[in-house]
Protein backbone atom coordinates (compact mmCIF):
# COMPACT_ATOMS: atom_id res chain seq x y z
CA UNK A 1 0.00 0.00 0.00
CA UNK A 2 1.41 3.39 -1.03
CA UNK A 3 1.70 6.39 1.25
CA UNK A 4 -1.29 8.13 -0.30
CA UNK A 5 -3.50 5.07 0.20
CA UNK A 6 -2.28 4.78 3.80
CA UNK A 7 -3.29 8.38 4.34
CA UNK A 8 -6.75 7.73 2.92
CA UNK A 9 -7.16 4.68 5.16
CA UNK A 10 -6.91 6.67 8.40
CA UNK A 11 -10.07 5.58 10.31
CA UNK A 12 -11.04 9.12 11.28
CA UNK A 13 -10.97 10.18 7.62
CA UNK A 14 -13.27 7.43 6.35
CA UNK A 15 -16.61 9.10 7.31
CA UNK A 16 -15.64 12.16 5.29
CA UNK A 17 -14.65 10.09 2.27
CA UNK A 18 -18.05 8.39 2.38
CA UNK A 19 -19.85 11.73 1.93
CA UNK A 20 -21.10 12.81 -1.46
CA UNK A 21 -18.74 15.13 -3.34
CA UNK A 22 -20.59 18.37 -2.58
CA UNK A 23 -20.84 17.67 1.15
CA UNK A 24 -17.13 16.82 1.21
CA UNK A 25 -16.23 20.12 -0.49
CA UNK A 26 -18.17 22.16 2.07
CA UNK A 27 -17.09 20.21 5.18
CA UNK A 28 -13.85 21.60 6.73
CA UNK A 29 -13.57 18.68 9.15
CA UNK A 30 -11.35 16.55 6.92
CA UNK A 31 -8.93 19.45 6.46
CA UNK A 32 -8.65 19.95 10.20
CA UNK A 33 -7.99 16.23 10.54
CA UNK A 34 -5.15 16.25 8.00
CA UNK A 35 -3.55 19.21 9.78
CA UNK A 36 -3.17 16.98 12.85
CA UNK A 37 -1.35 14.13 11.08
CA UNK A 38 2.26 14.18 12.33
CA UNK A 39 3.79 12.90 9.11
CA UNK A 40 2.25 15.85 7.25
CA UNK A 41 4.26 18.34 9.30
CA UNK A 42 7.25 17.59 7.07
CA UNK A 43 7.20 19.25 3.63
CA UNK A 44 9.39 16.58 2.01
CA UNK A 45 6.97 13.87 3.19
CA UNK A 46 4.03 15.80 1.79
CA UNK A 47 5.78 16.11 -1.56
CA UNK A 48 6.56 12.39 -1.61
CA UNK A 49 2.92 11.48 -0.90
CA UNK A 50 1.71 14.04 -3.43
CA UNK A 51 3.93 12.75 -6.23
CA UNK A 52 3.04 9.09 -5.80
CA UNK A 53 -0.71 9.71 -5.42
CA UNK A 54 -3.04 8.23 -8.04
CA UNK A 55 -6.51 9.53 -7.08
CA UNK A 56 -9.45 7.39 -8.11
CA UNK A 57 -12.30 9.86 -7.53
CA UNK A 58 -13.01 13.56 -6.96
CA UNK A 59 -12.63 13.44 -3.17
CA UNK A 60 -9.21 11.85 -3.49
CA UNK A 61 -8.21 14.50 -6.03
CA UNK A 62 -9.21 17.19 -3.53
CA UNK A 63 -7.14 15.55 -0.79
CA UNK A 64 -4.11 15.42 -3.10
CA UNK A 65 -4.58 19.08 -4.05
CA UNK A 66 -4.86 20.08 -0.40
CA UNK A 67 -1.50 18.44 0.33
CA UNK A 68 0.11 21.13 -1.86
CA UNK A 69 -1.78 23.74 0.16
CA UNK A 70 -0.51 22.32 3.46
CA UNK A 71 3.07 22.37 2.21
CA UNK A 72 2.80 25.99 0.98
CA UNK A 73 1.30 27.13 4.26
CA UNK A 74 4.10 25.46 6.24
CA UNK A 75 6.96 26.67 4.03
CA UNK A 76 9.03 29.75 4.83
CA UNK A 77 9.09 30.90 1.22
CA UNK A 78 7.57 30.17 -2.22
CA UNK A 79 7.06 26.48 -2.92
CA UNK A 80 6.88 24.72 -6.30
CA UNK A 81 4.55 21.78 -6.98
CA UNK A 82 3.23 20.03 -10.09
CA UNK A 83 -0.08 21.49 -11.28
CA UNK A 84 -2.88 18.97 -10.76
CA UNK A 85 -6.63 19.15 -10.09
CA UNK A 86 -7.49 21.12 -6.93
CA UNK A 87 -3.87 22.13 -6.29
CA UNK A 88 -3.80 25.01 -3.82
CA UNK A 89 -7.43 24.52 -2.78
CA UNK A 90 -8.31 26.41 0.41
CA UNK A 91 -4.92 28.15 0.49
CA UNK A 92 -4.90 30.83 3.21
CA UNK A 93 -1.22 31.76 3.45
CA UNK A 94 2.05 31.18 1.62
CA UNK A 95 2.97 31.31 -2.04
CA UNK A 96 2.48 28.32 -4.32
CA UNK A 97 3.98 27.95 -7.79
CA UNK A 98 2.29 25.28 -9.88
CA UNK A 99 3.98 23.98 -13.04
CA UNK A 100 2.04 22.36 -15.88
CA UNK A 101 4.32 21.55 -18.85
CA UNK A 102 1.57 19.63 -20.68
CA UNK A 103 -0.55 21.14 -23.45
CA UNK A 104 -3.11 18.33 -23.21
CA UNK A 105 -3.65 18.14 -19.45
CA UNK A 106 -5.86 20.95 -18.12
CA UNK A 107 -6.12 20.67 -14.31
CA UNK A 108 -9.38 22.01 -12.90
CA UNK A 109 -10.40 23.74 -9.66
CA UNK A 110 -6.96 25.30 -9.10
CA UNK A 111 -7.14 27.46 -5.97
CA UNK A 112 -10.74 26.49 -5.19
CA UNK A 113 -11.96 28.02 -1.93
CA UNK A 114 -8.85 30.18 -1.59
CA UNK A 115 -8.68 32.63 1.31
CA UNK A 116 -5.71 34.89 0.59
CA UNK A 117 -5.39 36.47 4.02
CA UNK A 118 -2.38 38.64 3.08
CA UNK A 119 -0.84 40.18 -0.09
CA UNK A 120 1.96 37.59 0.13
CA UNK A 121 -0.52 34.73 -0.29
CA UNK A 122 -0.92 33.82 -3.95
CA UNK A 123 -0.91 31.06 -6.56
CA UNK A 124 1.20 31.32 -9.72
CA UNK A 125 0.60 28.78 -12.51
CA UNK A 126 3.17 28.19 -15.23
CA UNK A 127 1.15 26.71 -18.07
CA UNK A 128 -2.51 26.16 -18.91
CA UNK A 129 -5.40 25.30 -16.59
CA UNK A 130 -8.89 23.86 -17.05
CA UNK A 131 -12.23 24.80 -15.50
CA UNK A 132 -13.19 26.51 -12.24
CA UNK A 133 -10.03 28.53 -11.57
CA UNK A 134 -10.33 29.99 -8.02
CA UNK A 135 -13.92 28.74 -7.83
CA UNK A 136 -15.83 29.91 -4.74
CA UNK A 137 -12.80 31.65 -3.23
CA UNK A 138 -13.52 34.06 -0.39
CA UNK A 139 -10.44 36.01 -1.48
CA UNK A 140 -8.51 34.98 -4.58
CA UNK A 141 -4.98 35.88 -5.69
CA UNK A 142 -4.13 33.84 -8.78
CA UNK A 143 -2.01 34.43 -11.87
CA UNK A 144 -1.90 32.01 -14.83
CA UNK A 145 0.94 32.29 -17.34
CA UNK A 146 -1.03 30.41 -19.93
CA UNK A 147 -4.68 29.96 -20.91
CA UNK A 148 -7.77 28.69 -19.10
CA UNK A 149 -10.76 26.71 -20.29
CA UNK A 150 -14.03 27.72 -18.58
CA UNK A 151 -15.68 29.21 -15.47
CA UNK A 152 -12.71 31.34 -14.48
CA UNK A 153 -13.23 33.32 -11.25
CA UNK A 154 -16.78 32.05 -10.74
CA UNK A 155 -18.45 32.90 -7.40
CA UNK A 156 -15.38 34.68 -6.01
CA UNK A 157 -15.93 36.99 -3.03
CA UNK A 158 -13.09 39.40 -3.77
CA UNK A 159 -9.50 39.46 -4.98
CA UNK A 160 -7.39 39.38 -8.13
CA UNK A 161 -7.23 36.90 -11.03
CA UNK A 162 -5.06 37.27 -14.12
CA UNK A 163 -4.76 35.01 -17.18
CA UNK A 164 -2.02 35.84 -19.68
CA UNK A 165 -3.57 33.79 -22.48
CA UNK A 166 -7.21 33.18 -23.46
CA UNK A 167 -10.27 32.02 -21.56
CA UNK A 168 -12.13 29.67 -23.89
CA UNK A 169 -15.41 29.74 -21.98
CA UNK A 170 -16.90 31.88 -19.24
CA UNK A 171 -15.24 34.56 -17.13
CA UNK A 172 -16.63 35.49 -13.69
CA UNK A 173 -20.30 34.86 -12.86
CA UNK A 174 -21.78 35.63 -9.45
CA UNK A 175 -18.47 37.33 -8.62
CA UNK A 176 -17.99 40.32 -6.33
CA UNK A 177 -15.32 42.98 -5.77
CA UNK A 178 -12.73 41.17 -7.88
CA UNK A 179 -10.30 42.38 -10.52
CA UNK A 180 -10.17 39.94 -13.45
CA UNK A 181 -7.61 40.47 -16.20
CA UNK A 182 -7.34 38.40 -19.40
CA UNK A 183 -4.65 39.46 -21.85
CA UNK A 184 -6.18 37.44 -24.69
CA UNK A 185 -9.79 36.74 -25.68
CA UNK A 186 -12.74 35.41 -23.68
CA UNK A 187 -15.65 33.17 -24.64
CA UNK A 188 -18.20 35.17 -22.64
CA UNK A 189 -18.43 37.35 -19.55
CA UNK A 190 -20.93 35.63 -17.28
CA UNK A 191 -23.86 37.38 -15.60
CA UNK A 192 -24.60 38.63 -12.09
CA UNK A 193 -21.32 40.31 -11.15
CA UNK A 194 -21.03 43.27 -8.79
CA UNK A 195 -18.24 45.68 -7.92
CA UNK A 196 -15.82 43.97 -10.34
CA UNK A 197 -13.19 45.31 -12.72
CA UNK A 198 -13.06 43.04 -15.77
CA UNK A 199 -10.33 43.83 -18.30
CA UNK A 200 -10.14 41.83 -21.56
CA UNK A 201 -7.28 42.53 -23.99
CA UNK A 202 -8.88 40.71 -26.93
CA UNK A 203 -12.41 39.81 -28.05
CA UNK A 204 -15.45 38.49 -26.21
CA UNK A 205 -16.69 35.88 -28.67
CA UNK A 206 -20.23 35.45 -27.39
CA UNK A 207 -21.69 38.03 -25.02
CA UNK A 208 -21.49 40.15 -21.90
CA UNK A 209 -24.02 38.64 -19.53
CA UNK A 210 -26.86 40.51 -17.86
CA UNK A 211 -26.98 42.18 -14.45
CA UNK A 212 -23.53 43.74 -14.19
CA UNK A 213 -23.88 45.94 -11.11
CA UNK A 214 -21.36 48.66 -10.21
CA UNK A 215 -18.81 47.02 -12.56
CA UNK A 216 -16.10 48.45 -14.81
CA UNK A 217 -15.79 46.28 -17.93
CA UNK A 218 -13.24 46.94 -20.66
CA UNK A 219 -13.06 44.87 -23.85
CA UNK A 220 -10.33 46.03 -26.21
CA UNK A 221 -11.61 43.95 -29.14
CA UNK A 222 -15.00 42.99 -30.56
CA UNK A 223 -18.03 41.54 -28.79
CA UNK A 224 -20.47 38.92 -30.08
CA UNK A 225 -18.71 37.82 -33.29
CA UNK A 226 -20.17 34.30 -32.89
CA UNK A 227 -23.57 35.79 -33.74
CA UNK A 228 -22.27 37.43 -36.92
CA UNK A 229 -22.97 34.45 -39.22
CA UNK A 230 -26.22 33.30 -37.61
CA UNK A 231 -27.77 36.77 -37.67
CA UNK A 232 -29.44 36.06 -34.33
CA UNK A 233 -28.41 38.96 -32.11
CA UNK A 234 -28.81 38.89 -28.33
CA UNK A 235 -28.80 41.60 -25.69
CA UNK A 236 -25.34 42.57 -24.47
CA UNK A 237 -25.02 43.58 -20.81
CA UNK A 238 -28.79 43.80 -20.34
CA UNK A 239 -29.78 45.17 -16.95
CA UNK A 240 -26.56 47.17 -16.67
CA UNK A 241 -27.04 49.07 -13.45
CA UNK A 242 -25.72 51.02 -10.49
CA UNK A 243 -23.10 53.19 -12.16
CA UNK A 244 -21.52 50.44 -14.22
CA UNK A 245 -19.27 51.39 -17.13
CA UNK A 246 -18.64 49.26 -20.24
CA UNK A 247 -15.91 50.13 -22.77
CA UNK A 248 -15.80 48.24 -26.07
CA UNK A 249 -12.90 48.92 -28.42
CA UNK A 250 -14.27 47.16 -31.49
CA UNK A 251 -17.62 46.24 -33.05
CA UNK A 252 -20.65 44.78 -31.28
CA UNK A 253 -22.85 42.07 -32.83
CA UNK A 254 -25.81 42.38 -30.48
CA UNK A 255 -28.30 44.77 -28.91
CA UNK A 256 -27.14 47.43 -26.47
CA UNK A 257 -29.01 49.31 -23.73
CA UNK A 258 -31.80 46.91 -22.73
CA UNK A 259 -33.06 47.57 -19.17
CA UNK A 260 -30.14 49.89 -18.55
CA UNK A 261 -30.06 51.95 -15.34
CA UNK A 262 -27.69 54.76 -14.35
CA UNK A 263 -24.86 53.25 -16.38
CA UNK A 264 -22.57 54.21 -19.26
CA UNK A 265 -21.58 52.30 -22.42
CA UNK A 266 -18.81 53.59 -24.72
CA UNK A 267 -18.36 51.83 -28.06
CA UNK A 268 -15.41 52.56 -30.32
CA UNK A 269 -16.63 50.53 -33.31
CA UNK A 270 -20.02 49.82 -34.85
CA UNK A 271 -23.16 48.33 -33.34
CA UNK A 272 -24.66 45.64 -35.59
CA UNK A 273 -27.93 45.47 -33.69
CA UNK A 274 -30.52 47.59 -31.93
CA UNK A 275 -29.65 50.44 -29.57
CA UNK A 276 -32.20 50.82 -26.76
CA UNK A 277 -31.96 54.38 -25.54
CA UNK A 278 -34.92 54.67 -23.17
CA UNK A 279 -35.81 51.33 -21.59
CA UNK A 280 -35.51 52.57 -18.05
CA UNK A 281 -33.93 55.66 -16.56
CA UNK A 282 -30.48 57.16 -16.35
CA UNK A 283 -27.31 56.49 -18.28
CA UNK A 284 -25.80 57.19 -21.69
CA UNK A 285 -24.57 55.22 -24.68
CA UNK A 286 -21.61 56.87 -26.44
CA UNK A 287 -20.73 56.04 -30.04
CA UNK A 288 -17.59 56.99 -31.90
CA UNK A 289 -18.20 59.94 -34.23
CA UNK A 290 -16.37 58.11 -37.00
CA UNK A 291 -18.68 55.10 -36.83
CA UNK A 292 -21.62 54.67 -39.18
CA UNK A 293 -24.71 56.47 -37.77
CA UNK A 294 -27.27 54.08 -36.26
CA UNK A 295 -30.27 56.30 -35.59
CA UNK A 296 -32.37 54.11 -37.88
CA UNK A 297 -31.66 51.20 -35.51
CA UNK A 298 -32.43 53.09 -32.32
CA UNK A 299 -35.33 51.61 -30.36
CA UNK A 300 -37.17 54.10 -28.16
CA UNK A 301 -39.62 53.50 -25.34
CA UNK A 302 -41.63 55.89 -23.20
CA UNK A 303 -40.60 57.28 -19.83
CA UNK A 304 -36.83 56.83 -19.84
CA UNK A 305 -33.79 59.08 -19.75
CA UNK A 306 -31.09 57.00 -21.42
CA UNK A 307 -29.30 59.14 -23.98
CA UNK A 308 -27.28 58.53 -27.12
CA UNK A 309 -24.24 60.68 -27.90
CA UNK A 310 -21.49 60.77 -30.48
CA UNK A 311 -18.00 61.55 -29.15
CA UNK A 312 -14.45 61.33 -30.49
CA UNK A 313 -13.59 58.11 -28.68
CA UNK A 314 -10.70 57.36 -31.02
CA UNK A 315 -8.88 60.42 -29.70
CA UNK A 316 -9.71 59.87 -26.04
CA UNK A 317 -7.25 57.09 -25.28
CA UNK A 318 -9.94 55.44 -23.16
CA UNK A 319 -8.74 51.93 -24.03
CA UNK A 320 -5.89 52.51 -21.61
CA UNK A 321 -8.33 53.25 -18.80
CA UNK A 322 -8.48 50.87 -15.87
CA UNK A 323 -10.95 52.78 -13.76
CA UNK A 324 -14.10 54.89 -14.36
CA UNK A 325 -12.21 57.93 -13.07
CA UNK A 326 -9.84 57.65 -16.04
CA UNK A 327 -12.69 58.46 -18.45
CA UNK A 328 -14.61 60.81 -16.19
CA UNK A 329 -14.52 63.72 -18.63
CA UNK A 330 -16.05 61.64 -21.43
CA UNK A 331 -18.72 60.20 -19.14
CA UNK A 332 -19.79 63.61 -17.92
CA UNK A 333 -19.52 65.21 -21.36
What's the confidence (pLDDT) of residue 195? 97
pLDDT at 321 over 80: yes
322: left (phi over 0), alpha (psi -120 to 50) or beta: alpha
**Residue 245 domain-assigned?**
yes
**Domain encompassing residue 215:** 174-333
**Residue 220 domain-assigned?**
yes
**Residue 320 domain-assigned?**
yes
**Residue 23 domain-assigned?**
no
Total tally of structural domains belonging to the chain: 1
Q: Coil, strand, or helix at residue 83?
A: coil
**Residue 114 domain-assigned?**
no
Task: Tell me the per-residue pLDDT of 107-163, one tens digit each, with 9 for 90 and over.
Answer: 999 999 999 988 899 999 999 999 999 999 999 999 999 999 999 999 999 999 999
**Residue 157 domain-assigned?**
no
What's the confidence (pLDDT) of residue 326? 87
Q: Which residues of 118-128 are buried (b: 16+ CB within 10 A; e: fewer)?
A: eeebbbbbebb
Q: Which pTM was predicted? A: 0.94
Kindly state the DSSP code that residue 105 receives in the 8-state scheme: -
Which residues have C-beta within 8 Å of that of residue 321, sequence separation ≥ 6?
Answer: 218, 247, 327
To the nearest whole percent, how much of the chain has pLDDT over 70?
A: 93
Residues in the chain: 333
**Residue 279 domain-assigned?**
yes
Looking only at the bridges linking them, the beta strands covering 307-311 and 298-299 are unpaired
The alpha carbon torsion through 260, 197, 173, 203 (nearest 10 deg) reads 80
**Residue 44 domain-assigned?**
no
Amino acid sequence: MGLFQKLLSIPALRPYLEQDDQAFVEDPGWRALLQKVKQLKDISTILEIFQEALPENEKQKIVRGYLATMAAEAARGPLEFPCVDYAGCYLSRGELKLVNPSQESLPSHIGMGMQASSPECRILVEGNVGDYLAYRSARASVEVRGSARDRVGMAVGEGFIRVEGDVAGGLAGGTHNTRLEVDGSVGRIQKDNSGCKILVGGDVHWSIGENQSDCFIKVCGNVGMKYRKSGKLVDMAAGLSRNSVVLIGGDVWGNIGSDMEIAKVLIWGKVHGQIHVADNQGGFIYLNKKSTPFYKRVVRSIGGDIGLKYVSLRESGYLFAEDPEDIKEIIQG
